[in-house]
Structures are given as structure tokens and as C-alpha cells.
Structure 1
Amino acid sequence: MLTLNQWRSFLARSVYVFFLNGTLKSYGVILMDIVKKLDSKHYLVGWAFTLQTGAGYLISPLAGILLTKMSCRFVAMLGGLLAGSAYVIRGLVNISEIWQLFLLVSCSGIGFGLINISTVVPLKESFGTSYATAYAVTGLAANVGIAVLPFLLKYLMGSFGDSTGMLIFGALAWTLIVTGAMLPSNKNGKEEKVKEEYSLANEDNALDDIDEEPEKETNLDEADRIETLTTSDKLTNFEVSDMRRRPYERIENGDNTNCDVKRSYINIENIKILFIRFYGVFQHHPALVLYMIVTCINDHGYRSWSIFLIPYGEYLGIISEKAVLLSTIGGVAGLLGRLYCILLFSRYAMDVYLGFALPSLLITVSYTISFFCDQFHVLAVVAALSGFSYAVMSSASTGLIPSCVCDDHFKVTVVTLYTLWGLMIQLGGITTGAVVDITGSYRISFACLTVLSTLNCVIGFGWTLSPLRLRMKNQEKLFELFRNQKPYYA
């Protein structure tokens, strides 16, 4: 049974991803019209559209700073106000210059960025060891948005006109303010997390008995510790030593971690200390480098696919009303991908092969098929394969972060990843649009996406075979071993 705080954080995150992914996909409906209306280039309009996600990710450091001063609830409400207002203004003001489009989309992107970090953190704090599964479930809302919002925007603009349709669309986006207000406060979320882990450990019956046992040697070589943390599901000496401490002690001391780097309260104005902290993250979690490369390439491809899929269908001669169906098909297939991820996360079976390597292979195959065929039914299959694969990779990108880094480095890793993803998203709109402008062909742009997907596929399979392959850590099993007093050493 979910607690009230879990329901709040889950609902807020679901509504956020519904609007973020749905509105991004909706831009494909108006891309070609905007290019003609503003007499602009594809790369500029594509760049502007990717700002909704890119700008949001790039301000992740700012969002992280705000969360140290304000509550997640306030930051999320502020983000919802900015995101919805940008669409309302676009409905009220007739855009005639490209810089106006950049300004308004950036405003909505900043709003979505504030909501992003302020919903990820409460979700992690509320669900604890079930975070990956909860995150995958919220992803279902993203694909519902992909399937529904493009159709809704086209209907509103066709029935009420472009301006009024966009105005109504923006008013609907103000729902984000309401869901932001529903977020649990930071204090309550932390208290509930303490209670949850306290009950899981059953410290009254088990911990005191184990504390009476003689301490084992816990010194491991640094290389052995890194290898164990990234390639093994076994309890290490370090993990057993950490688990012998009561849960509330680990949390209050900022030491709920599988890493030997202790929490330090950093003055954000001290650049040297910030550099040392980031260096420490990569030093103790070397798999994070590969994680960043794979997820960055994935974000580049996903945003390009989202914006240019519908125009690609129209370029191949498919009528606009039918081309929009490609988005719906991709969204529905993405729902299946999210359900697949929920199953994997719930069974602690998600890893690099299932989350990155195999989906990249499917995307490469689908893009290759689309390069040689232009029939609608073939493109529908391509959209389904791509939607399914991108949904899997999207869930894995964030769901596997707790398996890649320790709890102590979770927040700084999330901020860093979203900043890098923001840069790659911007490159997605710019590079794909530039290829269209230079070659005059959407087909060539998708061929370039095929090359990137192939590269991601090679890296993913190589990572699968390397010692740094990620596996989900079944924390519930760790606690079960601990309660039964049967710890073993790697």
C-alpha cells in the first residue's frame, strides 16, 4: 500500500512527464508551418523546439541550488507557472520573429526544468529502494502524452484557430501548478524514508544481535571495492559494515551509501571544492562515464525522432492527418516499452544489455528500414519499434542511476546528467535540422540518426561485456540477508 507522500510524488512526476514529452512531440505538428511562417531554417526551428527540454536540463544546477534554499513544492509550482504561461503568451501574441520563438520556448523549458529536479528528488526519497520501478511506472504517462497531445493540439488549432488553440493548450499546462502543490515537503519525505528503512531493518530484533558479533576486517583495496560495487550483487565488507549501523544513524549522518566518500556540505561559491566533489564521483563510480556517453547519445536521438518524425512522414508524401498517427503509434508502443521496464525493474533484472544495448539495436534496424521504404504501414512499424526502444532506454537512463552511484552522490549525479542531456538535446535539434537544410532531405537526416544509433549499439554491447556492466542492486534482498544474520563476503 502506497503512502500519501508516495502518491503525491508519483502523481506530480506523472503529470510532468505527460506534458513534457507530449508537448515536445506536438511540435512536430507545427514544425513545417513555423518554418514557412517565419521564413526560417529547419535547424533554427529545431533548435528552438529542443529548448523546451534542453533549457530545462541545462538549468539543472540552478534547480539544485534552489532546492537547497526552497522546498520542492515551491520550485515545482514556480516551474508549472512558467511552463504554462509560455504557451498562453504564444496564444496571445502573434509570433513573427524567430527570436520570439526562442524566448517563449526557453521560458517553458526553464519551467519544465524546475519541475524535473523537484519531482525526481521526492520520488527517490518517498520510494527508496523501489525508486526505479516507480520511475518506470511514471514513464507510462510520458507515452500517453506522446499519443494524445499531438492529436489534441491539432484538433484545438483546427477547431478554434492557431492562437486560441495554443491559448487553451497553455491553460491545460497550468495543471502543473496544482500537481506541484501536491508534492510532499522535504522534511516529511525524509522522516518517512527514515521510518521505512527503520522498519525494513527491524533493528530491535536483528541489529543488536549482530552488533555483538566481532567486527570483520573491512579494508578493501580501492580497485577491488570498485570492481565489487559495479560487477557483483554480493555484499562487500564495506556494505556489511555500513548496514550494521541503524538506518536512522546512516541517514542522519549522511552516510546511507555504498561509497567511502563521506558527505560534505559544500559552499557553492568554492569552485575548487566543487571540482574535487565531481572528481570524487567519477573516481569511485567509473561506470558513470560510460553511462553518460550512452544516455547522451540516446537523448540526442530521442528528441530528434520526436520533433522530426511527423515532418518526415509528410516529406515522404503522407498526408498530415495520417502522419500524426505515426506519433500515436510510437506513443502506444512506448507504453508497452514502459510496462516491459516496470517488469524488469520490479524483478531487479534491468541491466545494460536490456536497457541500452538491445534497444539501440532495434532503433538501428528500424531507422535502416525507414531509409529504404516510404509506405505508411512500414513507417508505422518503424515508429512502433522506435517508440518501444526509446521508452525502454528512457526508463533505464534514470532508473539505473541508483545502481551506478551511491546514495550520497545521487543528487549531484542527477544534476550533472541532466545538464549533459540538455546539451545533447540542443545538439539534436540543431544537427538534425542542419542536415535537412544542407541536403534538403529528411531521409538523409534519419540516415545520420542511424549512424549515431549504431555507435550507441556498439558501445552498449561493449559495455555489456566489460567488468563495469551495471546490475540492479536488490536492496530488499540485502536487508533480508541482514535480518537472517547470514552476511557473506565477496
Structure 2
Amino acid sequence: MAAANSRVDSWGYVIVLSKFVILFIDTGIEKSFGVLIPTLVERLESDYATIGLICSMPPAIMYLICPFVTLALRRANHRAVAMSGGLLSALCLIACAFLKTAVTVGICLTLSGVGLAMTFLPTVLALNDFFKDNFVLWSTVAAYGYTSGSLLLPIVIERSLPAYGYQGEFIILGGVALHLLVCGATIRKATCRPNGDTSERGGRDQEEKRHRCGSQERPSLNGEVMLHQLDDKMWEENVSQFEIRQREQEDENCEETFLEEWRLIQHEPRRFQRNHETLPNDSRGDCGLLQEGIFLLSLPIPFFISYTTYAWMLFLVPHGEQLGIPPSKAVYLSTLGGIGGILGRTIFIILISKGVSDLSVYIAVGSVCTGCFFLDFTSSAYPVRATLAFIQGFSFFVEDSVYTSLSKGAIFDEDNFDMAVAISNFMCGLGISCAGLFTG
């Protein structure tokens, strides 16, 4: 059994790696479009607003259709859905290399986003399945994929564009997206809990411990027969030692039972508090999320965060070029933003692992990011733009964990987690599509 638990623990980290790769692909492709936007405008004979909209389709659709993917996952095999989605996303990106109109490219990028959603959401649910008590922490660790993708992939695309051209770039992006197929193959259910969740047998053991704590047990009949066979002096000594050992064992069992019950109360206080307010799971259905008032009130937050983040991702490089920075230097603004994001995310993980409130961190970092954008007009010099890009990346890649915290911390019933994640992602998708359209 210990070996089985070890295997399950290790596979949980494989799920973390899979989510890392998925986010690497998602953000890396989106940041790469920032390099390709001028070429797309010229090749497709369109304007920046339209190209910005269709380039925002993969991440936008990835988030927008999450509620529908959630409903499908309740009836389908998670691994099969995830692998099919990875293949669909890669093939659509490769097809974009051979299309010459904005409409057809937009359709393919939209389907690519559908494939991303089909791989992304099963991975998130698997991550929560393995790490129920530390989901926010490990989800934030996996989110290093965001920063790594924005750091590395735009440089690859910018350097390979002169060598391979427009078609070669989309084939490269499609090859990168094929790794989603491997990520989908890693999906599996957690068969046992690393955090010590009790099984049916464990529940019977707890019941027996409670029974022992509530009533005194006497020596078994066989024990009494054996004791009566001893002489009187030995019998008295053995009885005394037996009673002492029995009392110690009962005290230990009582303490273990108390600690186990206390951990259960700490892990699921909200479920116990609302048990009398909610309907049973089989009769409540999907309407349970309507009872999560705090979560529903917080839904505008992921919309605005995703809007600002993806507007920055798409147009950081074009904005630098507009200010007179050469393209070969402007592409490194994305790299500096990615470096800042890695630093910010590392500091954030350290803080929440030390018990610092994640909401307090979001407020402080959000204030710094807002002030940074107010200083955008101050100078067009490259050192100033590089500094601002670094601070903005530092801030955005901390703030993008907000919807994860809300999906886990703002709901009272764990059964609503999958739909809460889906609705949060839907709001993120709305923000991303608006960012591509209005900012462009």
C-alpha cells in the first residue's frame, strides 16, 4: 500500500508538469502572434483590429467553452477528450500556414482554441484530484508555463521568421502544439489520496476508535483463561501491567481520533456549515453554483485581469515598434516581461507557502501594475520601456493566479469546483477576446 501511495504521489507531479506544458504552449503561441501580427496584417490584407481579434481566438475560445467541456467531461473519458483536443489544436495551427484569408485563419484559430480547452480543463480537474488541499500552490507552480512560454517561444519565432517564412512559422507552432497530445495521455484519476483521505476501511477504523474511547474494554476471554493459569502473584502483576497498557492505548487512540476529526473539520468546514442549506447532490444538479454568492460576485475580476494581461501580451512588441524601437530589440521586451514574471511568480509561491494571504499579495501587486501603466507616456527610450515591461510582467504573472484562488477559496461546496473553474475560465475568455478586438 505504501508503494501504491508513492506512485500516486509521483503521478500528481506528472500532472503538474502537464499543466506547465499546456500553459507554455498557450501563452507562447499568443506571445508569438505579437511578433507575427505585422506579417499577418500584410499577408491577409486586413487591419490591426481584425488581426488582433483572430490572434486572440485560441486562448479566448480555450476559456470560453470551458463550461461546455465540463458538461462533456461528466459523461466522457477525460484522457480521450484531452488527447483529441491536443491533436485538433495542432492540426488547425498547421492548416493556418496554407490559408490566405482572415476568415479562414480565424476559423482555424478558433478550432485550435477548442482543442486547447479539451486538453486544459481535464488537466486542471486532475490536478485538483491529486492536490485537493494544496491546489492553489501547485496550480501556481504549474503556471510557470505562462512565463516560460512568453519568455522563449517569441524569440524562436522572431529568429526563425527570416529563415522559414510565414508558412514555416505556423508549422513550427503546430509542431509545438502537438505536445498537447502527450499532456492529454497523462490524465488519470487519483486512486488514493496523498493527504490521507480516509477510505471505507479507514472510516470503520475511526468508528472502532470512537467506540474504544467511549467505553472501557475488558480483557478477552482467552486472556482471562491464560491469566488464571498463572500463580496469584504473577496474575496480579500481569493484570496491573495489562490495565496500564490498555489505558495508554485508549488514550493514544482517543488522541488520534481527535486529531483526525480536527483535520476533517479544518479541511471541509464550509461543507459542514452549509449542509443544512443545500440540497443533496443528486437533486441539486448544476444549479449548486447559483448558491455560491461570493464566487458569483467575484466574476468580473477574472474578466478585467485577462483583458489587461492579454492586451499587454498581444501589443507589447507592436507598441514598442510604434515608439521607434527596432523589431530586433522590441522582441526582447517580451523576454524581459517573462523574466519579471518568473521572479514574481517565485516570490508569490514563497509567500503563500509561508502562510501569507494571497488576496493581500494581489492587491499590492495590482497597485504597482496600475501605477506602471500610468507612467507609459513618460519616455520612449528603450531602457525605460524595458524597465516598464519587466515590472508589468512581474505583476501580470502574479495576478493571473487570482481566478484559481477564487475557484477554490470562494466556493463552499467542493462539488461545485469543476463548474466554478469553468465559469472563471469563461470570464477570462471574454476578457481575452475583448482585449484582442478593442486594443487592436
Q: TM-score, normalised by structure 1?
A: 0.72
Query: Take 1:363 and 1:330, find their aligned partners in 2: how far apart are those partners?
Result: 12
Letter in 2 for 1:399: S
1:221-240 alignment, distance < 5 Å: none
1:171: which partner in 2?
175
Conserved 8 A contact 1:327-1:383: yes
Pick closer, same or farther for the CA change 1:263–1:171 going to 2, 3 Å. Answer: farther
Pick closer, same or farther for the CA change 1:258–1:52 going to 2, 3 Å. Answer: farther
3-state DSSP of counterpart to 1:389: helix
Pick closer, same or farther for the CA change 1:148–1:246 going to 2, 3 Å. Answer: closer
1:351: which partner in 2?
358
Deviation string, structure 1 residues 95-115 (Cα, Å, up to 9, x no partner): 321101211110111111111
Conserved 8 A contact 2:64-2:426: yes
Which runs of no fewer than 5 residues in structure 2 stay unpaired?
1-5, 215-257
The alignment status of 1:264 with 2:281, answered yes or no, reads yes
Letter in 1 for 2:75: K
1:129: which partner in 2?
133
Conserved 8 A contact 2:317-2:334: yes
Query: Take 1:76 and 1:369, find their aligned partners in 2: how far apart are those partners?
Result: 43
Deviation string, structure 1 residues 433-464 (Cα, Å, up to 9, x no partner): 1xxxxxxxxxxxxxxxxxxxxxxxxxxxxxxx
Query: Take 1:259 and 1:152, find their aligned partners in 2: how far apart are those partners?
Result: 51
1:396 to partner: Cα distance: 3.1
1:331 to partner: Cα distance: 0.5
1:357-396 alignment, distance < 5 Å: 357-396=363-402
Pick closer, same or farther for the CA change 1:350–1:207 going to 2, 3 Å. Answer: farther
Query: Take 1:155 and 1:102, find their aligned partners in 2: how far apart are those partners?
Result: 25
1:290 to partner: Cα distance: 4.3
Which of these residues, 423, 427, 431, is aligned with residue 434 of structure 2?
427
Conserved 8 A contact 1:58-1:420: yes
Which of these residues, 272, 277, 280, is aligned with residue 291 of structure 2?
280
Letter in 2 for 1:330: G
1:53 to partner: Cα distance: 0.9
Compute the RMSD of aligned alpha carbons. 2.9
Percent identity (aligned): 24
Query: Take 1:259 and 1:325, find their aligned partners in 2: how far apart are those partners?
Result: 51
1:194 to partner: Cα distance: 8.1
2:255: which partner in 1?
none
Conserved 8 A contact 1:363-1:385: yes
Deviation string, structure 1 residues 240-264 (Cα, Å, up to 9, x no partner): x9x84997xx99xxx9666422552
Which of these residues, 306, 321, 324, is aligned with residue 299 of structure 1?
306
Which of these residues, 51, 68, 71, is aligned with residue 65 of structure 1?
71
Which of these residues, 2, 26, 38, is aligned with residue 32 of structure 1?
38
Deviation string, structure 1 residues 73-127 (Cα, Å, up to 9, x no partner): 1111111111111121122x1x321101211110111111111211110000111
3-state DSSP of counterpart to 2:281: coil
Conserved 8 A contact 1:5-1:183: no
3-state DSSP of counterpart to 1:128: coil
Letter in 1 for 2:426: T
1:83-232 alignment, distance < 5 Å: 83-91=89-97, 93=98, 95-184=99-188, 186=189, 189=190, 191-193=191-193, 196-198=196-198
3-state DSSP of counterpart to 2:356: coil
Query: Take 1:4 and 1:105, find their aligned partners in 2: how far apart are those partners?
Result: 35
Conserved 8 A contact 2:83-2:185: yes
Query: Take 1:150 and 1:246, find their aligned partners in 2: how far apart are those partners?
Result: 46
Larger radius of gyration: 2
Deviation string, structure 1 residues 184-234 (Cα, Å, up to 9, x no partner): 2x3xx1x323873229xx8788776568899xxxxxxxxxxxxxxxxxxxx
Conserved 8 A contact 1:76-1:181: yes
Pick closer, same or farther for the CA change 1:296–1:48 going to 2, 3 Å. Answer: same
Pick closer, same or farther for the CA change 1:154–1:211 going to 2, 3 Å. Answer: farther
Query: Take 1:431 and 1:161, find their aligned partners in 2: how far apart are those partners?
Result: 28
3-state DSSP of counterpart to 1:196: coil
3-state DSSP of counterpart to 2:403: helix
Pick closer, same or farther for the CA change 1:246–1:372 going to 2, 3 Å. Answer: closer
3-state DSSP of counterpart to 1:373: coil
Letter in 2 for 1:377: P
3-state DSSP of counterpart to 1:198: coil
Query: Take 2:211 and 2:85, find their aligned partners in 1: how far apart are those partners?
Result: 47
Conserved 8 A contact 1:157-1:166: no
Pick closer, same or farther for the CA change 1:343–1:246 going to 2, 3 Å. Answer: closer
Which runs of no fewer than 5 residues in structure 1 stay unpaired?
215-240, 268-272, 434-490
Conserved 8 A contact 2:9-2:194: no
1:38-49 alignment, distance < 5 Å: 38-49=44-55
1:443: which partner in 2?
none
